[in-house]
Structure 1
Amino acid sequence: MELKRLEVQNFRQFYGTQEVSFSLEKSNNVTVIHGDNGSGKTTLLNAFLWLFYNELTLPQPDKIVTERALDEASVNSRVPARVKLEFKDQGRQYTAERTQVFQKQSQTDL
Structure 2
Amino acid sequence: MAGNRMICTTNQIDYSTIRKAMTEGVRTREELQHTAGVCLQCEGCQSEVDGILSSVCGCKKVSLKQVLDAVMEGADTVDKVGELTGAGTGVDPVTGEPCGRCKGLIQNIITLKK
Structure (1 or 2) with the greater helix fraction: 2
Larger Rg: 1
Larger relative strand fraction? 1
Do both proteins adopt the same fold according to a TM-score greater than 0.5, normalized to the shorter chain? Answer: no
**Larger RCO (CA under 8 A, 6+ residues apart):** 1
TM-score (norm 1): 0.29
